[in-house]
Amino acid sequence: MHTLMERLYPICRSITGNGVRETLAILREYLPELRVHEVPSGTPALDWTVPAEWNIRDAWVKNAAGERVIDFRQHTLHVLQYSTPVQGWFSREELEHHLFSMPEQPDLIPYRTSYYQPNWGFCLTHQQREQLQDDYYEVCIDSTLDEHGSLTYGELVLTGTSEEEVLISCHCCHPSLANDNLSGLVVATFLARELARRPRRFTYRFVFGPGTIGSIVWLSRHLDTVGLIRHGLVLTLLGGSGEFTYKQSRRATAEVDRAMALLLRDAKVPHVVRPWLPYGYDERQYCSPGFNLPVGCLSRTPFGEFPEYHTSADNLAFVTPEQLAESLILVETLCLALEGNRTYRNLSPYGEPQLGRRGLYKGVGGGQEGADWQMALLWVLNLSDGQHSLLSIAEQAALPVPLLHKAAVALEGVGLLQPLP
């Protein structure tokens, strides 16, 4: 995952343009079935309109000696995203209105955007800004805004035995920022590769699109099928330090909300579960009241709560392979829990069935060996009344979901349980 991130990091992505296409082309090396969609600029999408396509070739500010004192080629964050083209000489005072820096973090370049308000500008460290002492500077932003362009997003569907879907969504609209948004991209990519190798009950739909406008466009093109989504997750900020943070869906008690809370509980890792908030990433669009889809958001330290956020410090060194792997394992485990969550009926409900003669119980009584396994069997038998799913049992029994699923499979195998449709 980190090797893939190293390839993607130098690319200047935005909400439209060749950076997104280049990114998706690399992802297709890992996911050959990934489909790339182009939606023309000017296309209505719910209450929005697909914007003009933005591309940039080069940008710089030169001093009187002709030296590049701000250079897009050195870092993609140096240019205000969606800057309109500009060429000419500007006084230091005029240039000042188009510079963005952070006095509180003077050695970092900020990430700034102006998607829907025409503007141009440069982002630089505050130390660089204070060194601009010439009276005049030559400025060039070699960019284009094409009203006949398009918005690009990627979509991968892994068909299961059921038409019911699990939606996995991540955004691909940031330039050289490793945790935001490349960590979500690479975790989603490797999750899709893993799920593709396994038998699946659900159909999994992966969406790789630009933030906000991408999910809005995707929703506008799937109005007749979003009702098939039973579970969903937005992946972001999964490679940095800090505890796992899960933000509940608008429903708060959807199966994905309950499953993630249980898995974090049982993993015994530092974590926090936060209630729904109509601000954040693309879960805002999926959970808007007209859709109200069961889509939560998984991250580590949330956006805006770590000093590297939206700065040049969110680099490849900030994200470690170990943190990416831990995130991938958690999301894989969630998918397995959702796959295995069934409601069963106990076929021997009158009294406790004899498990020993069915090979499910320990041979010698009185000790505590295999206590969790025994309790899992008993909890599943007792609450399999057609009203309790395995998630419900896990919440009440305080036992791990995978263990309860294993117990249910074993009990079904000896004819004591029947899965309900």
310 annotated as ligand-binding: yes
Q: Under DSSP, is residue 230 helix (H, G, I), strand (E, B) or coil?
A: strand
Average pLDDT in the 209-236 region? 98
| pLDDT(71) > 80 | yes
Judged against a pLDDT cut of 70, whether residue 254 lies above it is answered with yes
CATH 3.40.630.10 at 2-51+150-340, yes or no: yes
CATH label, 343-419, candidates 1.10.10.10, 3.40.50.720, 3.40.50.300, 3.30.70.260: 1.10.10.10
Which of the four pLDDT bands, split at 50, 70 and 90, describes residue 421? confident
pLDDT tens for 362-420 read 643 433 447 899 999 999 999 999 999 999 999 999 999 999 999 999 999 999 999 99
List, as one string, the DSSP characters of 164-208. Answer: -EEEEEEE---SS-IIIIIHHHHHHHHHHHHHHTS--SSEEEEEE
pLDDT digits (tens, 9 = 90+) for 297-333: 999 999 999 999 999 999 999 999 999 999 999 999 9
Predicted confidence (pLDDT) per residue in 141-190, tens digit = 999 999 999 999 999 999 999 999 999 999 999 999 999 999 999 999 99
Residue 241's pLDDT band (cuts 50, 70, 90): confident
Phi, psi dihedrals of residue 197, rounded to the nearest 5°? -85, -10
Positions of CATH 1.10.10.10 in the chain: 343-419
Identify each DSSP E strand in 47-182 by its residue range: 48-49, 53-62, 68-71, 86-91, 99-100, 122-123, 136-146, 150-158, 165-171
pLDDT score for 371: 86
Share of the chain above pLDDT 70, in %: 98
pLDDT at 367: 37
Calpha distance 25→207 (Å, rounded): 14
* Rounded Cα–Cα distance for residues 217 and 238 (Å): 25
User: Which tens digits make up the pLDDT trace of 30-64?
Assistant: 999 999 999 999 999 999 999 999 999 999 999 99
Q: How far is CA 240 from the centre of its chain?
A: 13
Beta strand 385-389 pairing with 343-346 = antiparallel
266 is in an annotated binding site: no
User: What is the pLDDT, as a whole number, of residue 362?
Assistant: 64
Which residue ranges does the chain devote to CATH 3.40.630.10?
2-51+150-340
The mean pLDDT of 291-295, rounded to a whole number, is 98
17 and 57 in contact (C-beta within 8 Å)? no
pTM for the full model? 0.95
DSSP state of 110: B
Residue ranges matching CATH 3.50.30.90 in the chain: 54-146
pLDDT category of residue 232 using cuts at 50, 70 and 90? very high
Residue 174 marked ligand-binding:
yes
Q: Is the CATH number of domain 54-146 3.40.50.2300?
A: no
**Could you identify the residue written with the tokens 């820096």?**
101
Whether the pLDDT of residue 134 is over 70: the answer is yes
